[in-house]
Every structure is written in C-alpha cells, then in structure tokens.
Amino acid sequence: MTLRVRTRRRRTALVIAGVFAVVLGVSLSITRPWQPPVETAPVAAAQDGVAPAPLALPEHPTLLVFGDSWTYGAAASVPTLGYAYVLADLIGGETIVDGVPGSGYLRPGSTGPAFGERIAGLDPRLDVDAIIIQGSINDRREDAAALPAAVNAAWDALTQKFPEVPVVVLGPAPHELPVGTSTARIDRELAALAGSRGWWYVSPVEEQWITPDNYLSVIDVGVGRKHPSTAGHRYLAEKVAEALERLGAAPVTAAEGEHPDPAK
C-alpha cells in the first residue's frame, strides 16, 4: 500500500523564484583509493535551449514528494523521520509523501506498482505548489533500453494530472560507493530527459552528497540494508532544502560546458 502521509510545519518562509539554464558536460568521480573511479552525471538543467520556467512558491508551500524507499523513509527509526517528512519543517511548509520501497520507473515495489501506475493512481484533486519526483536506483538491474520510454510515460502522466504544477526531478542517490555504473547511467539519462522538458534536475551523484568521508554517517549498512539512517535522512532533507534554495537564488545562466561560480 502506498504511504501517503501529510505533515505540516510552519516557520519562516522559503520563497523560490528563478529562471536559469545550466548545461553541464563535466563528469566527476567518487572513489576510494582501492577502487577505480566511476563517471557521474550532470547536476541540473536544461538542454537544447529550454530553460526551467520560474518557480515561485507561496509563503508556506505544499509539496508532493514522490519516490521509492528513500522517500518512504526506509531505515529511519520511524518512516516519518525520513527526508521527505523532515523537509516540511525546513521549508516552513507541508509535504505530502508518496514513497513505495523497491519501486522505480520500470520496477514495481514491495507494496505498490512502478512509478507510472502509481502516478495514474494519484488523486488529481491534490492541491500542491510543486512536485519532487525522486529516484530510482531500483531500475539499475532493469532493461536499460526501456528506461527513457518509461520515464517519459510517467512524466507525461504526471503533467496531464497536474498540468499547472512545476516539477523538480531528484535523481538517484548512491547507496554504496563507488557509484555504480548503472546508477550513474540512470542519473545521466534522467538529467537529459528533465532538461529536454525544461525541468529542474538535482543530482545527489554529481553534487557528491554521499562521499567516502560521510558514507557511514549517512547510510545504515547494517539493519538498514544500505538505506539512510535517521541522521542520514535529516542530512538528505537539508541537502534537498539547500538545493531548492540554490535554484531560486541563482539567476545565472552558464554557457555550455561551464559551471556557475557560487562565489559570485
């Protein structure tokens, strides 16, 4: 059964407004000394000259956060301490959380179907200011050639159901290091597909949210079976909130192959 829980938090508002396009073709590597580097994917952005439309959230925004077991809150001491719930407090608003463990664009989950079918089951009367769609590393063992069509079908269904609601795509985060080639491939493909639509794309892989230095403090490798710990979920919520704030605070357009200078 899909978990869809509403949490409400009030505090100083985060208002996000910005128009920008970033095209990145630079690869990074997350490594350990005894293991070879693995290519990673672009952070965010638009391709073919399509820039993300302005995103302006109200003072106390309501976000639909949709995804897999990470969105569900797996391995937190209770699921409602997962990143998607904690995010509500950090943005001074509310999150509606829809996460199904094991699910992806191609792979059905343990308690619900794949993303496309789950999106079809969403209530079109949901009143949200933006949608974050997260994941999914669960597609890494599925047919790679089938992924783009499944992603486009799911995203088409999302925009048909919520035509006026802006979408931010949150790519898969690595559950182990070095980042697997399949996870990096999914990240690259989702970044390109999001860019072709003029959607924001945030890449935990490219931004190196999880590194050898913080891996064991973020990921529960024991009973959590390589899911974020409670502290790890808090960290991820902070990274998502920072990413949203950065999107709204950086009205800079980078030329192809260039990175915006955060110090400017």
Ranges of H-type helices in 77-229 = 83-90, 115-120, 147-161, 181-197, 215-218
Residue 257 forms part of a structural domain? no
Does a structural domain hold residue 191? yes
Is 28 inside any structural domain?
A: no
Within a domain: 259: no
pLDDT score at 34 = 25
Residue 103 lies in a domain: yes
Separation between Cα atoms, residue 63 and residue 128, nearest integer Å: 5
| Residue-wise pLDDT tens digits, 8-23 | 443 333 333 333 333 3
Specify the pLDDT at position 54.
66
Residue 245's pLDDT is 84
What domain count does the chain have?
1
Under-70 pLDDT residues of the chain:
1-50, 53-54, 248-264
In total, the chain counts a number of residues equal to 264
pTM, whole model, 2 decimals? 0.78
Q: Please give the residue range of the domain that contains residue 84.
A: 36-249
Has residue 13 been placed in a domain? Answer: no
Which domain CATH number covers 131? Answer: 3.40.50.1110
pLDDT of residue 42: 38
Q: Evaluate whether residue 1 is within a structural domain.
A: no
Q: According to the model, what pLDDT value does residue 31 have?
A: 33
Instruction: Give me the pLDDT at residue 223, please.
Output: 83
Asked whether residue 59 is assigned to any structural domain, the reply reads: yes
Backbone angles phi, psi at 168, to 5 degrees: -115, 125
Cα–Cα distance for residue pair 255/113, rounded to 1 Å: 40
